[in-house]
Amino acid sequence: MPPIVSAGRLRNSPYYESTIAEGAESFLTYNRMLIPRGYGDREAEYWRLINSVSMWDVAVQRQVQLKGPDAARLAQILCTRNLSKQQIGQGKYVAVCDHLGTLINDPIALKIDDNCYWLSIGNSDIWFWARCVAGERRLNVEVSEPDVSPLAVQGPNAEDVVASLVGDWVRSLKYFWFRDAMLGDIPLKVARSGWSKQGGFELYLMDGSKGDHLWQLVKEAGKPFDIGPGYPNPSERTESGLLNWGVDTDEMTNPFEVRMGTYVDLDLDDDVIGIKALRRIKAEGIRRHQLGIIADRNYENEDQSIWLEIEKDGVVIGHMTHKAWSYRLQAMIGYALVSIDANPGDAIEVLENGRRVSGSLSELPFVM
Ligand code: THG
């Protein structure tokens, strides 16, 4: 393949030089940036996350900042979860939907103060969406992307590492809550969060010029626990049932189909985008739902194809949206977005490049 030229359109993470020095082996595009995709030993990176601690450049998780007198109002118009009781310093996992009730992002909404919210977004252009909505609804709010770049510290020893850096107060931080901290001259927000179920923190770096310095400090603090670089781990996240918007979802997916119904409050005001459609969808009943798939045998994992057809009794019932090798289950696992008539335990076949892989549907998550 000829080289792909980004012509400055792919922005570097503040941790870019550090991740190159650590031996990042490839990158993914995400929010018009690059995220490192592994450091050469997939299995070691996985077990480090499960057994000790791993550090990830997740600067691609950009913040869409809503600031001004109408910030709270705009946040609520954009999110189908009730934010009225959200406290300053609290994050909430939310669904952002369009007017048809389609899920267009699944950010963490952080309440910075009464007039400022951050939406910590997945891979879609919510900045444009929020600006458009603010203008159309004539709201007094400024939408921007501030200089904020999260660094994730994940795994059972993450708390010890982060406490040694910023103090023991982090040990009592509740899930998705955050607080400001200075690490020397490095301004941070420290949140208990991250895209794994192994526990951990995200250090929201608020000065991009200090990325490589922060990386070194975390690496140093993690040495006693054998910290190493990693990235949002495909195997662990699949075992743990975490959603990857844009991979596990298509341009029709609503929150109920992908286990996000608990983050939809149907009694919110009608001005919340998508809420009327979601009421109708709920009343009519969803046609698809997300389940797990376990293949009957291990097979070549290198094929990155996603959205492969799934058959049950010779009839196509939906798609396998992605797959990953599970080190803990020693099996090939994945997610299925299939007809509501399909159930855990059903025998199915996945059509992969002309061959048939047999397996069965299962509950999510695979590992609690
Ligand atoms: N951290 C930050 N920003 C992010 C992500 C992150 N933006 C993009 C992406 N990840 C957003 N998506 C998710 C998806 C799942 C979770 C968090 C962000 C998650 N879910 C748990 C679950 O589903 O079990 C917990 C949900 C809950 O308890 O409310 O953690 O990782 N900064």
Cβ of 122 closer than 6 Å to ligand 1, yes or no, is yes
Cβ–Cβ < 8 Å for 39, 230: yes
Q: What is the pLDDT of residue 353?
A: 81
The structural domains of the chain, with segments of one domain joined by +, span 16-61+148-237, 287-368
Cβ of 222 closer than 6 Å to ligand 1, yes or no, is no
pLDDT under 70 in the chain at which residues?
Answer: 299-305
The β-bridge relationship of strands 200-205 and 63-67 is unpaired
Cβ of 60 closer than 6 Å to ligand 1, yes or no, is no
Nearest residue (by CA) to ligand 1, atom 17, is 195
Fold match, 16-61+148-237 / 287-368 = no
Nearest residue (by CA) to ligand 1, atom 30, is 195
Question: What span, in angstroms and rounded, lies between the C-alpha atoms of 299 and 345?
Answer: 21
Q: What is the pLDDT of residue 1?
A: 84
| CATH (residue range 287-368) | 2.40.30.110
Q: What is the pLDDT of residue 305?
A: 66
Q: What is the pLDDT of residue 19?
A: 98
Question: What span, in angstroms and rounded, lies between the C-alpha atoms of 105 and 230?
Answer: 24
Of 308, 318, 344, which is closest to residue 252 (Cα–Cα)?
A: 318
> Taking the CB of residue 167, how many other CB atoms lie within 10 A of it?
12
**CA-based angle 356:359:364, to the nearest 5?**
135
Q: Who's near 1: CB < 8 A, 6+ residues apart?
A: none
Q: What is the pLDDT of residue 181?
A: 98
16-61+148-237 belongs to CATH 3.30.1360.120? yes
Query: Got the DSSP string for 196-225?
Result: SSS-EEEEEES-GGGHHHHHHHHHHHHGGG
Q: What is the pLDDT of residue 300?
A: 59
Question: What span, in angstroms and rounded, lies between the C-alpha atoms of 349 and 355?
Answer: 10
Question: What span, in angstroms and rounded, lies between the C-alpha atoms of 151 and 205?
Answer: 7
Of 31, 64, 104, 108, the residue with max ligand 1 atoms within 8 A of its CB, to mutate for a pocket test, comes to: 108
Question: What is the distance of C-alpha 140 from the center of its chain?
Answer: 29
